[in-house]
Amino acid sequence: MYTRRRIMQLAGAAGLILPSAGARAQNGDYPSRYITSVCMFAPGSGADIFVRFYARKLQELSGTTVVVENKVGMAGNIATEAVARSKPDGYTILIAPASSILVAGPFLFKKLNYDPINDFASITTLAQLPFILIVAPDIGVNSVAELTARLKDKGEGAFYGSSTTVGLVASELYKAQFGLKTTEVKYKSGLDAINDLMAHNLDFFFTDPVTVKEMVATGKVKALAVTSAKRIAALPALPSAAEAGISNMDLISWWSVHVPAKTPRPVIDKLTAWFNQIAASDDAKKFLSNLGADPLLGSPKLVDQMLAKETSEWRDYVKLAKIEPQ
């Protein structure tokens, strides 16, 4: 069990401010203690930046400390299972790209230690964003067509990095489109993959704009396209996958909030109201725009509808990409 001193240390490390007992008391029965927001990716990653923004905003609205806990590994499954197995009381939440975790998981893994649908209760959606195809800026590649020609020349001697489900599927869809033999290299952290890309150990990498947008702006990496079939408002200068010639790809990662199944409805309603208030705020819109994402306001019902709709789509993506379950 965390002592108050330990909670304050964790809150400080997360850049959060511990509210007073009086502030907590004004919120009624829930929340009466700190909330843990589990992040499935490493500190400093794009996902971590995303989770910590919403955790800080939740803290401001709820009047209680929100501690971000990073549980990294198995393409997000360690963190997801931890939340599924936690007590259903609203004090452990999952802010995650559900489109690529809860939807895609059953098709990418032979066995999951949780039920991606029945072990969770949905809160709301937050944002949507495509991934970006990047290359090193000094290899003479300025388009997807030029990258494709380079990869065909290198054959199995070409490499791409994967650290997320969306990145893996996007890479394999790209390879399938052009019959490429490029070899996958797995990474726990997207930042490690980007470092290898800049060192010319990788030929390309699909990553989220949260992680890489600033690097693109400063010329550290070069962006060639986004994974969506149409251009997005937050990244208007980048061609869509279809415009770049990748006609089999329309991948948009959407983020949502989840708690363990059987969490009381009043708690779900309160969290839904708070997160929708955050998503509609000017701060959130500015934050998302700066990171290359668009806001997506929703509800528990909308999340469940999107999960159901995209199940068949991800089944087809995984099959088309010829990804064998691990």
List the chain domain ranges: 4-129+253-320, 132-226
What pLDDT shows up at residue 302?
Answer: 93
* 133-183 pLDDT per residue, tens: 999 999 999 999 999 999 999 999 999 999 888 899 899 999 999 999 999
Minimal CA–CA distance to 246: which of 196, 317, 159? 317
| Check whether domain 4-129+253-320 has CATH 3.30.300.90, yes or no | no
| Check whether domain 132-226 has CATH 3.40.50.300, yes or no | no
Please state, in angstroms and as integers, the Cα–Cα distance from residue 89 to each residue in 193, 198, 257, 301, 312, following that order. Answer: 37, 45, 15, 20, 31
What pLDDT shows up at residue 26?
Answer: 36
What pLDDT shows up at residue 232?
Answer: 81
Q: What is the pTM of this model?
A: 0.75
Phi, psi at residue 130, to the nearest 5°? -85, 175
Torsion of CA 87, 99, 207, 272, to 10 degrees: -60
Strands 183-186 vs 159-162: parallel, antiparallel or unpaired? parallel
Instruction: Identify the DSSP state of 203.
Output: S
The tokens 């991606």 sit on which residue? 116
d(CA 115, CA 118): 5
What pLDDT shows up at residue 16?
Answer: 47
Residues of the chain under the 70 pLDDT cut: 1-28
Asked whether the domain spanning 132-226 has the same topology as the one spanning 4-129+253-320, the reply is: yes
What pLDDT shows up at residue 143?
Answer: 97
d(CA 39, CA 45): 10
